[in-house]
Amino acid sequence: MRIDLSGRTALVTGSTQGIGLAIATGLAAAGARVGVNGRSGQSVGRAIETIRGDVDNADLVPAPGDLTNDDGTAAVLTALPNVDILVNNLGIFGEQPALEITDDDWRRYFETNVLTGVRLTRHYLRRQLDTDWGRILFIASDSAIATPAEMIHYGVSKTALLAVSRGFAKTAAGSGVTVNSVIAGPTETDGVRDFVYQLVDESLPWERAQREFMIKHRANSLLQRLIQPAEIANMVVYLSSPFASATTGGAVRVDGGYTDAILP
Range of the domain at 195: 188-226
Same domain, 89 and 207: no
**Is 239 part of a structural domain of the chain?**
yes
Same domain, 180 and 222: no
Same domain, 153 and 163: yes
Same domain, 79 and 178: yes
In the 8-state DSSP scheme, what is residue 114? Answer: I
Residue 13: what are its φ and ψ, rounded to 5°? -80, 150
**Is 261 part of a structural domain of the chain?**
no
Same domain, 216 and 151: no
Q: What H or E segment, with its residue span, contains residue 181? A: strand 177-184
pLDDT at res. 262: 83
Those residues whose C-beta lies under 8 Å from the C-beta of residue 32, and which sit 6 or more positions away, are 5, 6, 8, 9, 10, 59, 84, 85, 240
Residue 220: what are its φ and ψ, rounded to 5°? -70, -15
| Residue 138 near residue 165, CB atoms below 8 Å | yes
Q: What three-state secondary structure class fits 45? A: helix
Same domain, 120 and 196: no
Same domain, 221 and 244: no
- d(CA 71, CA 232) in angstroms, rounded, equals 30
Q: Residue-wise pLDDT tens for the chain (264 aa)?
A: 899 999 999 999 999 999 999 999 999 999 999 999 999 999 999 999 999 999 999 999 999 999 999 999 999 999 999 999 999 999 999 999 999 999 999 999 999 999 999 999 999 999 999 999 999 999 999 999 999 999 999 999 999 999 999 999 999 999 999 999 999 999 998 888 888 998 899 899 998 999 999 999 888 899 989 999 999 999 999 999 999 999 999 999 999 999 888 876
**Is 155 part of a structural domain of the chain?**
yes
**Bridge-partner residues for 60, per DSSP?**
34
Count of structural domains, the chain:
2
Burial of 13 (0-12, 13-18, 19+ CB in 10 A): buried
Same domain, 201 and 161: no
CATH number at residue 77: 3.40.50.720
- d(CA 120, CA 43) in angstroms, rounded, equals 21
**Is 262 part of a structural domain of the chain?**
no
In the 8-state DSSP scheme, what is residue 113? Answer: I
Same domain, 145 and 156: yes
- d(CA 195, CA 78) in angstroms, rounded, equals 35
Same domain, 149 and 201: no
Q: Which residues are catalytic?
A: 154
**Is 206 part of a structural domain of the chain?**
yes
Distances (CA, A) of 174 to 122, 131, 244, 246: 18, 13, 15, 11
Same domain, 135 and 203: no
pLDDT tens, position by position, 80-94: 999 999 999 999 999
In the 8-state DSSP scheme, what is residue 228? Answer: P
pLDDT at res. 264: 66
pLDDT at res. 192: 85
pLDDT at res. 260: 87
**Is 263 part of a structural domain of the chain?**
no
pLDDT tens, position by position, 155-195: 999 999 999 999 999 999 999 999 999 999 999 988 888 88
**Is 161 part of a structural domain of the chain?**
yes
Same domain, 130 and 217: no
Burial of 153 (0-12, 13-18, 19+ CB in 10 A): buried
- d(CA 187, CA 141) in angstroms, rounded, equals 10
